[in-house]
Structure 1
Amino acid sequence: MVGGGVLRECLLAADVERVVSIGRSALLLDHPKLVQVVRPNFATDTSEITDDDLRNVDACFFSLGVSASGLSEEKYTALTYSLTMAVAKRLSRFSPQASFVYVSGAGADSSEQGSSMWARVRGKTENALLRIPFKHVHVLRPAVIQPLNNAVSKTDSYRIFDKVLSPLLTLGRKLFPSHVLTTEVIGQAMLQIARRGAPVSVLNAAAIYKVACSSVEANSKR
């Protein structure tokens, strides 16, 4: 869902020359800027991602994630921490000049000591990423997200939540725009972070919104 949002913003941006999408299946999208790399088993075998896939990258938007519901800590760690770190470490070898923007979640536990399993694993992942020597590493912790522009979550419960509560999300976004974020706003923020970095390494919803607003303001002045 968030990946679809940032992909849309990249394809719309005049200063983005090429977007490489690495995923387990092809996107139902055709665009002259878009290069699709299909690696069906990379979630369990990152060697499917070739060295050439990771060369000459200016920015990596890592938005892959799964719900912890029904998963053991071992399985959730493999899909959240191990996969992310395997890709990030290899990318840093071939594109150390890149900015790495990681989509985490509100409530992630930086101490890695809390009672919530998913929060500990997310916090561990964030901490490890921040130690990798990229040009920039930034972590986004959005909370309530409203999908726009046909962005759709792959998680069944999220899709039901979005469909049922869409009118309330729209109202909440109008009343509290820095707390109820859209996929469009998050995508704009991620792209702006890739361009200019951000004042802090870990951004909560309000900080994400502020960066997105700075992007819109900068574009309006061009």
Structure 2
Amino acid sequence: MKTILFGATGMVGQGVLRECLLADDVTEVLSVGRTPLGRTDPKLRELLLPSLDDLTTVADQLAGYDACFFCLGVSSVGMDEAEYRRITYDLTLGVARLLAERSPNSTFTYVSGQGTDSSEQGSTMWARVKGKTENDLLTLPLQTYVFRPGFIRPMNGEGPKTAAFRWGYRLLAPVTKLGTRVFPKYATTTEAVGRAMLRVTRENPPTRVLGNPEITRLGT
């Protein structure tokens, strides 16, 4: 299968990239982003752009793919709703709509979050925006899957971009390792997320919105 990956420099994206490169049935990974990955692999191709807001100029390069793993995301801390919506909703839907045109038979997997508000009416801003993003993605002519992880434990050298967060994960590593075993409802791993994304692409299970227990089960 040929896959597209958005957000390969982030913690989740790093894990998804690793699993794609390890998978025997993945023949190509197209990483779309603004920052070089700093690595090479016979399967890996990078499409570097100054901005991801408008992909129409490179639309033809997104044709003919079997899956798109969308792992981009930002924290809502300190952001107003308009800006958070632009990054979380507008960017995601723009990519998905383009994929629906250029690779209409593909699977689109979106990393959302535990606690997302599908009603779009709640008091928590990020949960409303994520809820609308999920809802509108699920109406597109794609095989769409929504992943709602809670805490994600980095594996195999993956980690957040921010140095402070990387140190925090390292210090808490023994606790988080125990947490993924004892509280599977609330915690999973980057390894499980990547493997689960590949599995839903291969198998097309009927459940489209997946929480930590489903992600971990599919990624085991």
Matches of 2:50 and 2:190, distance apart in 1: 25
Which structure is higher in helix share? 1
1:1-222 paired onto structure 2 within 5 Å: 1-42=11-52, 45-47=53-55, 50-134=58-142, 136-155=143-162, 158-177=165-184, 179-213=186-220
One-letter amino acid of the counterpart of residue 109, structure 1? D
Identical amino acids, percent of aligned pairs: 48
Whether the 8 Å contact between 2:191 and 2:219 is mirrored in structure 1 is no
Q: Does the Cα contact within 8 Å between 1:148 and 1:182 map onto a contact in 2?
A: yes
1:32 and 1:206, CA in 2 relative to 1: closer, same or farther beyond 3 A?
same
**Is the Cα contact below 8 Å between 1:11 and 1:33 reproduced in 2?**
yes
- Structure 2: which 5+ runs fail to align? 1-10
Q: Secondary structure at the residue paired with 2:55?
A: helix
For residues 50-81 of structure 1, what are the alpha-carbon distances to aligned partners after superposition, in whole Å with 9 as ceiling and x for unaligned?
Answer: 11221001000001000000111000000000
Structure 1 residues 64 and 128 mapped into 2: Cα distance closer, same or farther (>3 Å)? Answer: same
Q: Tell me how far apart the structure 1 counterparts of residues 113 and 164 of structure 2 sit (CA, whole Å).
A: 16
- What is the letter of the counterpart of residue 34 of structure 1? L
Decide whether the 8 Å contact of 1:178 with 1:210 is kept in 2. Answer: no
The answer (yes or no) to whether the contact 1:106–1:204 under 8 Å persists in 2 is yes
Query: Any idea what the Cα deviations from partners look like across 1:68-105, whole Å, max 9, x if unmatched?
Result: 00111000000000000111101100100000000000
TM-score, normalised by the number of residues in structure 1? 0.90
Report if aligned partners of 1:62, 1:102 keep a CA contact under 8 Å in 2: yes
Q: Which amino acid aligns with 1:201?
A: R
Cα distance in 2 between the residues matched to 1:73 and 1:160: 30
Secondary structure of 2:219's aligned partner? helix
- Runs of 4+ in structure 1 over 6 Å off: none
The Cα offsets for residues 130-152 of structure 1, whole Å up to 9 and x where unpaired, read as 00001x10000000110111212
Give the drift of 1:211. 1.3
Residues 178 and 209 in structure 1, CA contact (< 8 A), matched pair in contact too: no
Instruction: Name the residue aligned to 1:216.
Output: none
My pick for the range that moved more, 49-58 or 201-210, is 49-58
Unpaired runs of 5+ residues, structure 1, are 214-222
CA RMSD of aligned residues (A): 1.5
Distance in 2 of aligned mates of 1:178 and 1:109:
18
Helix, strand or coil at the partner of 2:41: coil
Q: TM-score, normalised by structure 2?
A: 0.91
SS at match of 2:127: helix
